[in-house]
Structure 1
Amino acid sequence: MKKELIIFLVITLVLTIGFHYKEFLEYPIQHLQNFPNSAAYGLGIFHPLVFATVVYVIFLIPRGIYKLFKRK
């Protein structure tokens, strides 16, 4: 469980930095303060969690298949 949480947090961090690197370099405090007012794709404040969950599931499927065949 701890390993999966770390993987999820790393995915969230990588996606955040990857998509918003310019904002974090130029005005990070203002960007974080505007976070509750975000309207990304109609998801609002939850958009990082939704996108990170989608990417996590995309990575989870091949890992699960690999573990399934590794057991046999």
Structure 2
Amino acid sequence: MSAESPLAPEESDFDPIEAILAAHDGDARAAIGDLVERIQHLRHQLSLASAAMSRGMTRGWSPSLDQS
């Protein structure tokens, strides 16, 4: 059995930006709109998870919406 998965693209061959644009037929505005919707969904999921987690479960760590 090979260590490489036939479904996973090679790191050097895969360009996520090109993949996103290709998924939207080269329409940059549609790609950006889709990404914004996905970010909003993930931020909502993070806020739900934050509300459901206890601080003891994460030893004081809490998720943040900021990247810093």
Query: Do both share a fold (TM > 0.5)?
Result: no
Structure with the larger RCO, 1 or 2 (CA within 8 Å, 6+ apart): 1
What's the TM-score, normalizing by structure 2? 0.34
- Normalising by structure 1, report the TM-score: 0.33
